[in-house]
Amino acid sequence: MNATTLILAILNYQDASGYEIRKLATDGPYSYFVDIGYGSIYPTLAKLEAEKLVTSRAEQSQGKPERKVYTITEAGRAEFIGAMMEPPAKDVFKSEFLLVAMAADFATPASVERAIEERVRTIKAKLAMIRQHINDCDHPGTCWVARYGEHVFQSSLDYITANKQRLIETAGNALPRAAAAE
């Protein structure tokens, strides 16, 4: 899956400006699917428009500059549906927190505890956002995905909470005594 498919997915559910697509794809409910760079959104939209997979219209808001709003066409919807028929690529999961956890014996107990606390805050924020989507959910597939995400993050939070002390206790074991005392 790529930027094209993600943009078509967003436009399949709602008309949006390039800015709105970026927010949905990087901070919103579509941020869990495909990484999309800000610099690729507008070139991809231009390409989709040239291929007649989307159309655009100018909208004027009072006191704001004109914005270009994109709409998926029937050809774009067919392209999106075709992409959904392809088997998905392997999930990619990367976490700096997990690197800190893996190498905790080279860190101080205080730095490991800070990393854990930050991870817990991040997970709780994601859970709050997902739960809001569940409360507002009216599309079966979207509801399923939101509940799946809630389960994954809640399980992660439960594991971290239950095993926090074990990880902190491993911290500093590979450090010289003076550094570990910090």
What is the pTM assigned to this prediction?
0.78
Split at pLDDT 50, 70, 90, the class of 22 is very high
Listed in sequence order, the DSSP H helices in 14-105 are 18-26, 38-50, 74-85, 96-102
**What does CATH list as the number for 3-85?**
1.10.10.10
Please give the mean pLDDT across all residues of the chain: 91
**Predicted confidence (pLDDT) at residue 168 exceeds the cutoff of 80:** yes
**Predicted confidence (pLDDT) at residue 77 exceeds the cutoff of 70:** yes
Rg of the chain, C-alpha, whole Å? 21
73 contacts: CB under 8 Å, gap ≥ 6: 52, 53, 54, 55
In the prediction, which pLDDT does 2 show? 87
Split at pLDDT 50, 70, 90, the class of 179 is low
